[in-house]
Amino acid sequence: MLDLNWLNTFVTLAHLEHFGKTAAALHMTQPNVSLHIKQLEQTTRVKLIERSPFRLTQAGERLLLSAQRSLQELQVCQADLNAINDMSQGTVSIAASDIISRLLLIKPFQSFKHEFPGIDLSLFNTTSTQAAELVKSAKADLGFVIAQKESQPLHFTELRQVRWCALGDGLEKWQRLAKQNKEPEKGEEPTLILLGHDTRTRDLIDMALPSLKLPKYRIMEVGSVDAQIDWAEAGFGIAIVPAFSLHPKLNLKSTITPLPGFPTTSLGYIVRQNQVLSRAIKQLLQWVSEEIANSPHN
């Protein structure tokens, strides 16, 4: 019989390809990692890994596929059992970007903490794409994302439409130059501060940039909406950001220009299809909906 702890150690080792890193990730000693692999190989009666250099054998590759599926199914099952049991203790894990969590989730989280003191909230600050992967694998119970497409095995529920704004001074000046068929001096082109190419929103923005009708421009890539706002406020260019991210409490000094020509997208939450939602998660979603309804730029 294969022990689940052995399989979890094997899967982690297969991903990290290092015994020491695996021990640290699983809060184990390195000898115990080696023992788990030895016990797994003895039980299956096949060699699963080559140690120097590290690689999986053909048998190891086959076991990895089954072990990943089995562990994920068990994790999903445990999450649903917790919801059915309407747990009053434990952890609810949420995946969301930093800007979504700071502007839309703080008050709902405060209400949750008061109403469900026995349940811990665990927050993964991540991109929408990574949030989807965390929910798929049941490592997160709930994800808040932008520009999610309905796809197996996830179900997306829209909470609000997202419109776009330009934050930064000088946009009208550059657009006026373009109307006059003038180009800026070399080295004086406007700089657009955008998210990196590994985000869904960047794909939407790239398609809409021609609607700005700018002359030549440069692009500065950053890793988060927060960074876009900070760099634009520091005078390094014009950030293209979701309108809801420009909250009055940020006390912004730069010019904010609505961009009605940009296509709208959706902000919402994702769960696994057929996922059982606990009373605690349903109540959290209600508080988030209320916070969104009361927020600026709704």
Ramachandran class of 14: left when φ > 0, alpha when ψ lies in -120 to 50, beta otherwise: alpha
Per-residue pLDDT at 56: 92
Interval 170-196 mean pLDDT: 77
Q: Say if residue 81's pLDDT is above 80.
A: no
Cβ atoms within 10 A of the Cβ of 91, count?
11
Interval 262-273 mean pLDDT: 88
Convert the pLDDT of each residue in 191-230 to its tens digit: 999 988 777 778 888 888 888 888 778 899 998 888 999 9
Q: Say if residue 104's pLDDT is above 80.
A: yes
Task: Measure the CA–CA gap between 138 and 248, rounded to whole angstroms.
Answer: 35
Q: Say if residue 297's pLDDT is above 60.
A: no
User: Cα–Cα distances in Å, from 175 out to 49, 160, 170, 182, 254?
Assistant: 61, 30, 9, 10, 17
Convert the pLDDT of each residue in 70-80 to its tens digit: 877 777 676 66
The model's pTM:
0.67
Per-residue pLDDT at 183: 67
